[in-house]
Chain A
């Protein structure tokens, strides 16, 4: 795969929905280009900290975490792509992809995990959703038990999202002991 392998119809997911594009995996790392030009994401293999796979509805999602705290998710890989890329990341980057599971139970109670800038809401041992704290414009404590995260209002669309998340709040009951005495975390 020295000269690279192309994957078409790979969506870059993020704050404002998803954008379709083409992902190239080559000996130097990962390059994603938005369909029709514009945005590109380049991740050098030396900055890749972790790789993850997750089965999402009808397809597979690749998560790429970098040493500088960034996280990218690429959606749209077939099962055979997963096999191919898993062995590629192993041999070329020395990274064994982690397998994550998506929670689809629809429960609104669980745990909050932090990894770099990412906040992940876990239900059971499965991931329900994740968000990037770097997009949070304001954090507010509401009373003793609630934390509100407000997101930057961004009108530069282009992403295929009709309804945009403006804020989300979490309720942390007194019975929760995860965040006691830690003021850096909600």
Chain B
């Protein structure tokens, strides 16, 4: 509800308020981390699709013998132990969840950076949110 009819709980994290808040398009589409807005942007069908870092559960990477790197991002969804207070299953009952995505890349250095950045950002936001939740109780 962006129409103001619903009061958004402070714990309901959103990545961007407006379309033009997203980082400007780059020449090459690749996974991007937006530290400032606590978001990851994934290239899906020629568009950069944002996900708030709090939606991310885990990320890992691997490579094969053909110099391909793979990154797998697993999101929070009901039925998994949530680490963030905002990931409340009852709130979104009936919803369908994006559970997992995987990407292939020729650039292993870039993939390593992406994984490290996602892990760091996730840790920072999780620590801050659990602190906030503790203070609230």
Chain A interface (Cβ < 8 Å from any Cβ of B): 11-18, 55-59, 73, 75, 102, 104-112, 121, 124, 128-132, 145-146, 148, 153, 159-173, 175-178
Cβ–Cβ contact A56 & B99, under 8 A: no
Q: Contacts A166-B70, A175-B94 known; A160 to B29 CB distance under 8 Å? A: yes
Encode B92-130 as 1/0 by CB contact (under 8 A) with A. 111111111111111100110000000000000000000
Chain B interface (Cβ < 8 Å from any Cβ of A): 1-2, 13-25, 27-31, 39, 42-52, 55, 70-71, 75-79, 89, 92-107, 110-111
Cβ–Cβ contact A124 & B16, under 8 A: no
Q: Chain A interface mostly helix, strand, loop or mixed? A: strand
Tell me the bound Cα distance from A51 to B8 in angstroms.
33
CB distance from A143 to the nearest CB of B (A): 10
Q: Give chain A residues whose Cβ lies under 8 Å from the Cβ of B102.
A: 165-168
Cβ–Cβ contact A14 & B28, under 8 A: no
Q: Contacts A75-B46, A104-B50, A161-B30 known; A170 to B96 CB distance under 8 Å? A: yes
Q: Give chain B residues whose Cβ lies under 8 Å from the Cβ of A11.
A: 46
Query: Which residue of A is nearest B32, CB measured?
Result: A163
Known: A12-B46, A170-B98, A173-B93. 15 other contacts (CB 8 A): A16-B46, A57-B22, A73-B45, A104-B50, A105-B52, A106-B16, A109-B98, A110-B96, A129-B47, A130-B45, A162-B29, A165-B103, A168-B100, A171-B97, A173-B97
Cβ–Cβ contact A56 & B43, under 8 A: no
Q: Give chain A residues whose Cβ lies under 8 Å from the Cβ of B1.
A: 124
CB distance from B92 to the nearest CB of A (A): 5
